[in-house]
Structure 1
Amino acid sequence: VDVWEASPLASAGRRLAAVGVALAVLLPLAVPGMTGGLLDSLSRSSGNGTGNGTGSGGTSGRIDLFASLAGQLNQSQVADLVKVTTSEQSPFYLRYAVADELRPGGFQARSPSGRPANRDLPDPAERAGRGVQQTTYRATVEVTKSLSMSLMPVYAEPVRTEDLNGNWLYDPNQQVVFSNRENSRGRKYSFDYVRSTYTPAALRAAQPLPADHPVRRQLTATPERVPEVDELVKGLVQGKRTDYDRVLAIYQHFSADNGFSYRLSTESGSSGQDIVNFLTNKVGYCQQYAAGMAWLVRAAGIPARVAFGFTNGSKRDGDTFTLTNLNLHAWTEVFFDGLGWVPFDATPASGVPGSTRSAWAPDTDAPDPTTPGTGVTDAPTGPEASAGPAGPDNADRDTDEGLALGGTTPDEQPPTWPWWAAGVLALLLLLAVPALRRVALRRRRGGRAVSATVAATTVADATEPGTRLVTVAADANRARADAHAAWAELLDTLVDFRVPVDLTETPRATADRLIRDTLSDDTAAVESARLLGKAEERARYARDPLTGERLLPALRTVRGALAARADRRTRILAAVLPPSVLLRWRTGMADTSGRMAALTGRTRYRLLRWNPRRLLADRAAR
């Protein structure tokens, strides 16, 4: 051992340290948590299907709300996601998260924080007062196996939970239940919640937040000042004395009377800003309406955010609502001092199945009530009427997709194949590679002409001036190549049908052993094997190779005889996974590995020659 070479113990220590660091970095990425795990994120697609989608905003924190549902929502078929049973006759939307950080790409969610949800939760009764009615209800939620995320769907103000362990936390600011360690798939739990309703008078009585209030500073921020938005908001809120009147004016702006309509396919604009394009084109779906209203409310100096969850849908059995991917929805929440977060849904009710409206935010597109006797029937009310003139079927077709302001939906997409079909197809293609390689190799060898190939030479005729003679002779080089190709194909055929091959034998010895051990009772196969052995022997050792023989028919005869004597499993493997191809690949990999090892050793030796320790050791020796 040279004095400059590291000791085995030091080398082992460095290797263990490198492995430990690699495990410490890679293992957390593969463990499911708030990020869903690296493997889970790679299996998700960006998706443009119905429901929440991935949008263009994403999140800035650990919880990626869009990606957590992309795998389940990027489907053309309807999938049941949540079943909720509640004692409330007409509940508001079941929510699971909020996006309260506005960036140029759209609304994004911050990482929630809180305390265990199985302990005492904040009591909203302190906000009860004149004009505010609070009623406590009980709900039971069952999440299907089609929905897996680190967030738990609940109604807005839960006060007590059951069947949730300490790993589930509650954030009172965002009003969401989340976990850093578990997911919601297949869980069933119950909770009590408070439903708060407000009168317009109570909202008008709320005082504006001070300019230095933390909620106002954080949740009125916009990424940039947009002159078109500022001018629109200034005109809408002009003369409005209270925050509620300002919010109501912005809310009523998104109405059919102002040209707004619900449509899945949005239109592009030339302004270069998504918010301006939406306000100009006035066409969009829930993510545009929710984010657009929240942006305008923030521009008016009032805190606002985007909440998303599920509408009540159209599948109801008594007190149980079955919510699907068609019921995913987004709406706006506005903060009022002393009252908290109040919901406003600016999306046209005709485009959302199970849409709900309230006294403080009525449906601006609903027909005016008529008095009896005018010949016009009163318009129906309630969730069943929210589908609009086209009925529930039309509402089910017009579903929401996401939350990012700039999101758009594609044209009608053809039915998508399930993910496992692509996996099966890829596996079949992978299994077919050896067979295709074997067929290609056989065709390349058999594509040559039979060994009767001749060469034509033109010479002058001395007896008759002006005439030329054509001399025909065998092409020795081509004959040798044909013999070698036929022999190589014979050896591969023997390997495919599990006949031993000894590369140290002469061609004649191999042919004699094949005849003696396998083909002794088949005269045609015996003659063909002898012909192939003789042709290869002449091509190797004789001055003149064997010409004029039909080698390809001889190959087919021998192959047919071997196939007839082999069992079914051997014949199937010879056709599907030819052992000759696999053997050639293994040999090639072994040779490549050996060359790489030798190259690595030479490179390492050259690099170590300049090791400082070795140079110092040589100098000390001198």
Structure 2
Amino acid sequence: MTGRLRLALVAALATALTSSALLPLVDAGGWIAQGLGAILLVALVGEGARRIRVPRPIVGLTQVAALVPYLLLVCVPDASGPIPTPSSVDAFVELMRTGGQDIREFSTPAPATPGIVAILLTVMGGVAVIVDMIAVTYAQAAPAGLPLLALYSVPAALSQSGLGWAVFLIAALAYVLLLLAEGRERLLRWGRPLTPPIPPGHPPMRQYRPPARGGGRIGVAALAVAVAVPALIPLSANRLLDKNDNGPQSHRLTTINPVVKLSDELNRAENRELMRYRTTSAAPGSIYLRISSLDRFDGRSWQPSERQLTDVPKDFPKPPGLDQAVRTTEVITRVESDRDYDQGSLPMPYPATQVQVKGSWRYEPEGRLLLADNKQGLRGLGWTVTSLDVEPTPAQLKAAGAPPPALAPYVALNLPTDMVNRIRQQALRIGGNGTSYDRARNLEEWFARSNQFRYDTKVPPGNGTSALENFLEQKVGYCEQFSSAMAVMARTLGIPARIAVGFIPGTQQADMSYKVSSHDAHAWPELYFSGAGWIRFEPTPSRGNSPSYAQQDVAPVAPSATPGSAGDLPSKQPQTAPSAAPSTATTTAPAAVGASSDGPRLSGRVLLIGGAVLLVALLVVAPMLVRSRVRRRRFAALTRDVAADVDAEDRAGPVLGGWAEVLDTARDLGHPAPDAETPRQAAERLLAVLAVDAPAAEGAGDVDDTGRLAAGSAVLAAREALPRIALATERLLYAAAPPVREPGLGEDVRAVRRGLLARAGRGRRLRASLLPPSLRRRGGQSRGERRYTLAERFRPRLSRRRDEGPGGTPKPADLG
């Protein structure tokens, strides 16, 4: 087994071992055999391409070209055959799209659906191609660890319980084996070590061990330390404490934004139970369990501000802005979390006044949240929350005064001025000229009950500037867009607003408890009114319920906010006239729907077919392009001004490049040079090829008299130029000092190339253009460059010997 074949097999083994990190992501692991088949196919195709000396940039494309039919045969066998067809490509694209939906809907470990398996096999095959190309084709094993690290890191981040030390050890061992195989292959290039013969009676010498074995011991020892240290030393995930001389220790922490998970939870096919609770509230529908409070809008998304965390107090401080005149009712809620549900924040009603919970928690006073500390989680946890059911009257909310200056950050918007003005004008038209409470109620009514908006969880997630404009124009979205739009519009009216994320009340059970599931995830706006503090609104249609103070004294929606009026934001595209005939809308709607549904599928198939055609085209023209680039570089060096050759290297490069171009052209046309041939012998051999009386080449009979005359002139010019090129090369290789380059050497090389092409037939010229054999030589110096390097090493020694007499004494000076 050759060293390169051994390296290819070890690279495939490293990819296969690292792919074990994908197993915890799905329930069943039978698909791993198909993935191993893809890895083995990539390794064999790559080794075969390298054995026939395919240019290195083409090896990876060849592996991809072999991997695609394999994936089609394995993933869509009913629609695929030996050759990819549009129908099989279409079926594979649809399968990948279905797999993407399955990944969003299922939590790990997910069922091994055909779509998920197709994605996993594609990932394994793609990583195998990259690792083989880097480690084997380009002989750089160390950078090949990057795709292996990606193959391990992504499953490690997605797995809820982690991959464990065994999977880490397997993946790390795979990388070490790859490094050792590459190091051994490098050592074997130097041959076997020479050991002197052992004299009779002398004890046998210790067998030589290559240094790579020592590297193996170091690698194994490092892995053992990496696995043993975390197990022996009790490391914790405690955050660093900020020591405060004026008070107790506190944390500074930026909480995780849970809005990004709303779309995944709402679109998940499996509606998993997360928790159950019992409450003493007379209106259980008002129990919204909050897990986060988002108060900072940076123009792209809502984020929680950095908060100062303290120890959990026995009794929470008074809710900000709440006066005694507002009616409140104390509510006690007992919550039990499911064993499979984990969360970094404790779900609680707002405003909580007391919490009884076990474990390590920290209190965030601004949002009145409890955040997990020291790896604390919710799995199977139970807690009791005492909270207030705040019931202000509409009259109290209408009489609310201006918010305090400390709430200025809750009115700030990091948006362009022109956009803020447009949204504010829209909010004024909808909210009317009443109090802040009237405007907030009108905004809520417009979103939730004006029949202009449609609830749809399939809308792409996002609440930034572009998403906000699209939502107000298209009027389709889910709770994330509804809450964000109302909070932004409220801020433009001077009303402090923020977004709360958590769960709606859930479903009542037979035992009078309430079950909260993943589909109950929700986001809603909270607006501040002096006297009542932060109170909840519900702008999302068909989700949750409105609080009591929003069900009384409903203010009418502003007339200017009716559908199709000027109250909407200016559309980016012209709106259809309201007087359009209903029949036209009826006939065009189905066509539009059909076009939109078939568009992605058709475009995906076209892209995949176009990519396959482009890949085949690259495979065909890549050798020609590479050879043309090498030729242009050599001719550019030959046409450079001779005065620019300031040192020996500058003089040698163009001459050796010109001679290499002559030899490569001859080799492409079927005249390879023996390894032991000198420039003079090569010139004599090629002069025989360029003989005037040589037999006509294949295809020459198709040339007319004018063509024969031009070919004969090219051959004569080549015969005159070839000895000059050979002589310049000999002088460079064997002279005591590098000679000055002849200025016309570039034209001589072109003349020899034209003469050789004129002597070749049409078929040979075509093969030399599409598949030039000269590219099969592996990278490194040409024979002429190696000879010149050796000559440069010995020139100083030869010059010293020439100047010294017998015994190393200087020669007497030549007196003439």
Q: TM-score, normalised by structure 2?
A: 0.35
| Richer in strand (by share) | 1
Higher relative contact order (CA 8 A, sep 6+): 1
Q: TM-score, normalised by structure 1?
A: 0.45
